[in-house]
Amino acid sequence: MSKSLQLKKIYSNAIIRAFEQFYYFKGYKMAIGMSELKKGLKIEIDGIPYRITEYQHVKPGKGAAFVRAKIKSFLDGKVIEKTFHAGDKCEEPNLQENTMQFLYHDDGVFQFMDTATYEQIGLNDEQVGDAAKWLIDGMNAQVLFHNNKAISVDVPLVVELVITETAPNFKGDTSSGGKKPATLETGVVVQVPFHVLEGEKIKVNTETGEYLEKVK
């Protein structure tokens, strides 16, 4: 691609983003028709933001074609089935994801700081959700905002946490596949191999809760 075409593409994208921000600022929202639906697309229905997780275009023998989809709410994670017909419209949600540093938890409030603006916000248990069991002071997380209101928190896929309590390693406990429960510094309990000891730092998959390896 030539330099002039690259510049045109950059300017075009900038104009589109400015146009979208203007519409959001004015309270307008972009309408999305049935033909534009696809897996992974973010949509808004009745003021609730969703992501399309499954998509199927159905063309019956008689009658007009339609789309059968499963959509997952950004607010509570619930998945519902939704059918879209020609002429149906949904909206593009005003979603923004910011990188924020978790500072501390006090009296039911999780305090975060925006790493770009240094602005601090307090989130409750409902807003933080399952991410709470992996958060430690100083950890960066992705906070999702809908219409400038924080609605969810995502932690990294892999985190490093210290084991604060687990049974000691006894002789004969080294059999392959053997596991024991271990409490981590956030309070969450995971299954670890017998040879892993209290006080050691481990890597854990936050989606599955699975032990990955010791931190060397």
Helix and strand totals (H; E) in the chain:
2, 16
Contact assessment for residue 143 and residue 101, using Cβ atoms and an 8 Å cutoff: no
Q: For the range 49-52, what are the long-range contacts, defined as Cβ-Cβ under 8 Å and sequence gap of 24 or more?
A: 49/73, 49/74, 49/75, 49/93, 49/95, 49/146, 49/151, 50/74, 50/93
Determine the residue type at 157.
Answer: L
Q: Domains of the chain by range and CATH?
A: 3-91 (2.30.30.30), 95-154 (2.40.50.140), 158-214 (2.40.50.140)
Closest C-alpha among 81, 78, 74 to residue 49: 74
The partner residues of 143 in beta bridges, in order of sequence, read 98, 153
Tell whether the model's pLDDT for residue 23 goes beyond 50.
no
Cα 2 to Cα 6, 9, 99, 207: the distances in Å are 6, 11, 34, 43
Residue 103 has pLDDT above 50, yes or no: yes
What pLDDT score was predicted for residue 26?
A: 43
The SS3 of residue 182 is strand
Percent of the chain with pLDDT over 90: 43
The reported pLDDT for the residue numbered 35 is: 78
Instruction: Supply the pLDDT for residue 24.
Output: 45
pTM listed for this prediction? 0.69
Residue 25: band (very low, low, confident or very high) from pLDDT cuts 50, 70, 90? very low
Contact 44, 50 (CB under 8 A): yes
The arithmetic mean of pLDDT across residues 189-200, rounded, is 93
Quote the CA–CA distance of 84 and 55 in Å, as a whole number: 11
Whether the Cβ atoms of residue 157 and residue 139 lie closer than 8 Å to each other = no
- Predicted local distance difference test score (pLDDT) of residue 20: 46
pLDDT value, residue 168: 87
Percent of the chain with pLDDT over 70: 82
Q: Which residues, in sequence order, are CB contacts of 169 under 8 Å at separation 6+?
A: 194, 195, 196, 197
In this predicted model, what pLDDT tens digit does every residue of 57-90 receive, in sequence order? 888 888 888 888 999 998 878 899 998 888 888 8
- Torsion angle in degrees (nearest 10) through CA of 73, 77, 81, 84: 20
Place of tokens 């593009």: 92
Mean pLDDT (the chain, rounded): 84
Residues across the chain: 216
Q: How far is CA 183 from the centre of its chain?
A: 24
Contacts of 76 (CB under 8 A, 6+ apart): none
Using the structure block, give the residue that is written with the tokens 């419209």.
89
More confident residue, 24 or 122: 122
What is residue 132's predicted lDDT score, i.e. its pLDDT?
92
Per-residue model confidence as pLDDT tens digits over 34-43: 778 888 889 8
Residue that wins the pLDDT comparison between 205 and 64: 205
